Structure 1
Amino acid sequence: MTNRPTSLGSLPLPPDEQPSIPALSVWPTGQRDPAAQLRDSGCVLGTDADTDRIPPAVAAYAIATYTRPGDLVLDPDCGAGTVLTEALHADRHALGLTTRNRWWTLARANVTAAKTAGYWRDGSVLDARPKVLVTIRAAGLVGRVGLVLTALRTASRNPGDRTPSPDRDPDSAIAELVATLSYCEPLLRPGGRFAVVARPLRDPRGSLIDLTTQLLSAATAAGLAPVDRCLALTAGLRGSRLVTRASLAERRAAASAHPIGVPTALTAHHEVLIFRRAYDAELATVVTGIPRLSENGTAQFAVACSGGRRAA
């Protein structure tokens, strides 16, 4: 395998080849508040510090929809590890990567907590960048990943700072994410999927940023084909109305925006975009003979990548 370029997300599509937006579906994943979701999943204290985390209910819904028991779920930028926890709970194998010490510690603790609770599928957390997935050390995973599930991470790269830093530029975050998906591409099994979860972002004027179009364009330019577009609710359904679960800071920002003529609604969902490889049908005939994932397949890969030091 060879290294993929990291600038795929910036390649523009011709005007007559803009990707079509798939039909919208809604996931009822906001019936429990974030704290209750983390508690029900057995996540360790501090997991909520990862503001870009995929909510456990959203991760669980995606895993149940796009994988089957025994599949391998990969999060190449796993943060505090909510995806890994939900994969283990759903009888899937789980592999996560991160280079940030705080997230590695939390993700490893969450994987350990899930195993302690009796979820014994293989789960590993590597101290590694996504680029390791296109090296020889990942050769044993080619064609074995059922779902790549990850978040568009726009929060500050310094989660331990006392003074919060501004969110990262969405364009650079999208370009980095698409490059990461390209590193994961050789590992996907026939019929496997890429799932990207993006929390709503606002520009300095308070308007919502259109992340969907940017993600679709960048991913299509990188050779991925959109399959589904979903709204994963973070608000609870109460009959015919939504009960938002916005933070105090979000509520204050919305309240202060109204007097200056900028009406701001509280966000009630995360965007979830599902992709497949554009050439998946052809690739399926090539990888048919690859053996199924062994029970300790990801554990062996984890030891190879980390020298036995950083595998949960």
Structure 2
Amino acid sequence: MLSVSVWPCAQADSKAQRKGRYLPEYMAHPGKMLPAIAEHAITHYTQPGDLVVDPMAGIGTTLVEAVHADRMALGVEYEPRWADLARRNVEHATDRGAPGYAVVVQGDARDIVRLVGSDTVGKAALVLTSPPYEDSLHRHVRCGHGSSLTHRNPDESFIRFREILEGCYLLLKPGGHLAMTSRPKQCGGKFCDLPSRAWQSAIDAGFELLGRYVALLSEVRDDDLVNAADVPAHLPRHEEVHILTKPANSEVVAQRVTRIAA
């Protein structure tokens, strides 16, 4: 039976959550994960000293929240501009006393094992990321073209997303977790159920679905939802969060590793 719950992640709006914690340049990125969502997933599915991985790191939200929570973190980012900003955000966090440690690698996450090193295989406790959004993630809508994963058509994007998750499967230790945030969207006048496609990609990569959660993007006040100032009224007030796991059964894991590495 799947677990279901609500994560109250917007008691402060995104700007307040990032103030002083991230460099001001973060605002230029169109698809930022809400810091409180990352913090909630990290503190609930890892322990201090554990390794957290984000294969589509963007400006480094997962990494920054991981080092503040005394975790180790690895991030891969395709776009050099954002990889550089992610590194600087991590440096900013450590300068402010964050006790953890993080590394950012620029490259194609479909080759994540080679990029981060084979000695990382089987070491990660959590993979935390979002699927390709064609720049619509977190209240921005812009369908464009380019070389990165997020600018491809949805079918092509999810083939590549599954390939990324197959690499992440290898990095996770048996029983480790994959957490994905997503929301439905429209692009080109068509509805795309990104949450369902995201978790199906993860299932195809060998993961098992454990739970589906709602991460609120509105403040809870006196049993009512209060819309955050930076969330347009016509957009959803929540993210869907899917939690999956790498099977702990050694025989199943061995079969998956053999197939993916072939």
- TM-score if structure 2 supplies the norm length? 0.83
What is the match of residue 275 of structure 1?
244
Q: CA deviation digits over 1:35-70, x for unaligned, max 9? A: 001115x10012122222211100000000100110
User: Is 1:31–1:236's contact at 8 Å kept on the other side of the alignment?
Assistant: yes
List aligned pairs for 1:166-205, cutoff 5 A.
166=144, 169-205=153-189
Which residue of structure 1 aligns with residue 7 of structure 2? 27
Structure 1 pair 49/275, CA: closer, same or farther in 2 (3 Å)?
Answer: same
Question: CA contact under 8 A between 1:75 and 1:150: conserved in structure 2?
Answer: yes
SS of residue in 1 equivalent to 2:186? coil
TM-score (norm 1): 0.71
Q: Per the alignment, do residues 65 and 136 of structure 1 end up closer, same or farther by CA in structure 2, a change over 3 Å counting?
A: closer
Q: Out of 41, 44, 47, which is 2:23 matched to?
A: 44
> Which residue of 147, 161, 164 corresponds with 2:126?
147
**What does residue range 140-289 of structure 1 map to in structure 2 within 5 Å?**
140-156=119-135, 165-166=143-144, 169-205=153-189, 209-245=192-228, 247=230, 250-251=232-233, 254=234, 266-277=235-246, 279-282=247-250
- When residues 284 and 67 of structure 1 are mapped into structure 2, their CA distance, relative to the original with a 3 A threshold, is farther
Secondary structure, counterpart of 2:244 in structure 1:
strand
Q: In the alignment, residue 160 of structure 2 is paired with which amino acid?
A: E
Structure 1: runs of 5 or more not aligned: 1-19, 158-163, 255-265, 287-312
Per the alignment, in what secondary structure is the counterpart of residue 46 of structure 1? helix
Structure 1's 172 and 24: CA in aligned 2 closer, same or farther, altered over 3 A? farther
Between the two proteins, the alignment pairs up a number of residues equal to 243
Is the 1:97–1:127 Cα contact (8 Å) retained in structure 2?
yes
Match in the other structure for 1:76: 55
Structure number with the bigger relative contact order (C-alpha 8 A, sep ≥ 6) is: 1
Distance in 2 of aligned mates of 1:233 and 1:64: 17
What is the RMSD computed on CA atoms of the aligned residues?
2.6
Residue 153 of structure 1 aligns to a residue in which SS?
coil
Shift of 1:82: 0.7
Alpha-carbon offset, residue 205 of structure 1 = 4.5
Q: CA deviation at 1:137?
A: 6.0
Instruction: Verify the 8 A CA contact 1:228 1:273 in the aligned structure 2.
Output: yes
Matched, 1:129 2:97: no
Q: Alignment identity in percent?
A: 34
Q: Which has the higher strand share?
A: 2
